[in-house]
Amino acid sequence: MKTKAINRLKAVLAERQITNKRLSERMNLSATTVSRWCTNKAQPSLETLVEIARILKVDIKDLLISTRRGYK
């Protein structure tokens, strides 16, 4: 069964030129946890997404795949 992508964390990290390891260090989490988020094997909580957005200096919406079809 293929996991549906829910977040864009991997793409945003690449855009910001920040590694999973660096984000994990900034958040005091294991690199494995961040890696699981990046591969959509696990999802961060809403509170964690807010913290990630703050660290990466992006809007939280930039971290999520839109659920609205046909809208930008």
Distance, in Å, from the CA atom of 61 to the CA atom of 58, rounded to the nearest integer, reads 8
Tell me the pLDDT tens digit for each residue of 6-64: 899 999 999 999 999 999 999 999 999 999 999 999 999 999 999 999 999 999 999 99
What tokens appear for 21 in the block? 């390891």
User: Domain boundaries in the chain?
Assistant: 9-59
- The CATH fold assigned to 9-59 is 434 Repressor (Amino-terminal Domain) (1.10.260)
The SS3 call for residue 7 is strand
| Burial environment of residue 61 by CB neighbours within 10 A (0 to 12, 13 to 18, 19 or more) | exposed
Distance, in Å, from the CA atom of 40 to the CA atom of 11, rounded to the nearest integer, reads 12
* Per-residue confidence (pLDDT) for residue 14, from 0 to 100: 96
* Per-residue confidence (pLDDT) for residue 10, from 0 to 100: 95
Q: Are 22 and 13 in contact (CB under 8 A)?
A: no
